[in-house]
Amino acid sequence: MTARSGPLAGLLVADFSRVLAGPLASMFLGDLGATVVKVERPGTGDDTREWGPPFVGTMSTYFAAVNRNKRSVTLDLADEADQALARELCRRADVVLENFVAGRLAAFGLDAAAVLRENPRAVYCSISGFGSGPGAGLPGYDFVVQAVGGLMSLTGPADGPGTKVGVAIVDVVTGLHAVIGVLAALRERDRTGLGQHIEVNLLSSLLASLVNQASAFVNGAKVPRAMGNRHPSIAPYETVATADAPLVLAVGNDRQFVRLCEAIGRADLAGDPRFDRNSGRVTHREELVAELERTLHSGTAAHWASLLQAAGVPCGPVNALDDAIALATTLGLAPVVTLAGDPGPALSTVANPIRLSRTPVDYACGPPELGRDDAAIRAWLAS
């Protein structure tokens, strides 16, 4: 296997996961230098290979989003010879990732208990929808978890139905939690020489990600509800109308509120006893927003954003994705990386957001075509 560079160089990840949470986790490990072997079903591979349009060549852009820096081998786990190769891969691996239905991998000798018996140094990470208890048999789909986990009840207009977030955010967060767990277990292995079994699930990851909203509930407050773009505890922290488009204001403290008022020529609002403290602004939010919009209607969102940013007030327009990528580019964040096809056409990928000063992220290869590395990996496992 070709050596990689990066802080995780020398580690081998056996990736039996598919769709989003697991592949995102393994991609981040690959970005940091681990060698990732993605195990896929012969003929079809990861479900997301066909989740399009859009496509780049024959590959869906969905699959391309979370599968760079990997090798692809096709193994039929119902075939005894391929099972043996899969077990050998796990025996050699530092990390094993999977998101199969609970109990499914035990039939192939690839469950955590079996792998850790053969390879006590392995870090084995299982990703599920609802954990390994009574909910083990429930299918874990991000959209469903957003609904049953309470996120949709907090998202959307206050007087409308619950709304999902525009991306599979629970899968994304769960994948990042998986990476954190894997890195922690690897550090523990450095001390003890032993791996362990990690479990992460979508529902728990979502609940942990509700942070202040969840804390307010579990400490005895009312059940939170959707407030549109408003913040339950801070004001003004929402979208406000201007002459042409909405503007986001994220005024997090009294000093910023004073700067806002001075910048728009409404110093009187900062001295109003209803608004001079955040608690009062939350209580009198409707009156405050009405006063702000009365003034902001005299200029465009771009005008006010420029003026307020110069004054140190957190704010911004509601950008579409093209404008967001353009902004990141202007700020020198290099948000897009173009990778050569292997084979196939070149494709672009959103850059890994982690910046390391000595061991930077490495974009060794683009997402693999199904079974691209079959011959090489099968030969290596058989050797």
Report the half-sphere exposure of 128 (CA within 13 A, side-chain side): 17
At 342 the pLDDT is 67
Q: Report yes or no: 106 and 114 within 8 Å, Cβ to Cβ.
A: yes
| Tens digit of each residue's pLDDT (9 = 90 or more) over 263-294 | 999 999 999 999 999 999 999 999 999 999 99
Is residue 159's pLDDT more than 90? no
Task: Return the active site residues.
Answer: 171
CB 258 within 8 A of CB 277: no
pLDDT digits (tens, 9 = 90+) for 183-216: 999 999 999 999 999 999 999 999 999 999 999 9
Among candidate residues 251, 266, 244, the one with its CA nearest the CA of residue 313: 251
What does the pLDDT average to over 305-315? 97
Q: Residue 4 has what pLDDT? A: 80
Q: What is the DSSP letter of 100?
A: P
**Number of neighbouring beta carbons within 10 Å of residue 70:** 26
108-to-16, 42, 74, 105 alpha-carbon distances in Å? 13, 16, 15, 5
pLDDT at 148: 97
Sheet holding 246-250, edge to edge: 237-241, 246-250, 315-317
Tokens of 3: 């050596």
* Percentage helix, strand, coil for the chain under 3-state DSSP, each rounded to 5: 40, 15, 45
Mean pLDDT of 342-366: 90
Q: What is the pTM of this model?
A: 0.94
Q: What is the pLDDT of residues 117-158, one digit of tens each?
A: 999 999 999 999 999 999 998 889 999 999 999 999 999 999
User: Is residue 221 predicted with pLDDT exceeding 80?
Assistant: no
8 A C-beta contact, residue 97 and residue 13: yes
Strand (E) or helix (H) holding 77: none
Q: pLDDT, tens digit, for every residue of 49-86?
A: 999 999 998 899 999 999 999 999 999 999 999 999 99
* pLDDT band with cut points at 50, 70 and 90 for residue 2: low
Q: What are phi and psi of 247, to 5 degrees?
A: -125, 135
Which domains can be identified in the chain, with CATH numbers?
A: 12-209+333-382 (3.40.50.10540), 237-241+246-317 (3.30.1540.10)
Lowest mean pLDDT segment, chosen from 133-137, 302-306, 371-375: 133-137
Pull the structure tokens for residue 39: 């195990």
Predicted pLDDT of residue 102: 87
For all residues of the chain together, what is the average pLDDT?
A: 95
- DSSP secondary structure code for residue 350 in this structure: E
Q: What's the N-to-C CA distance of the chain in angstroms?
A: 12
Q: Are the C-beta atoms of residues 289 and 229 closer than 8 Å to each other?
A: no
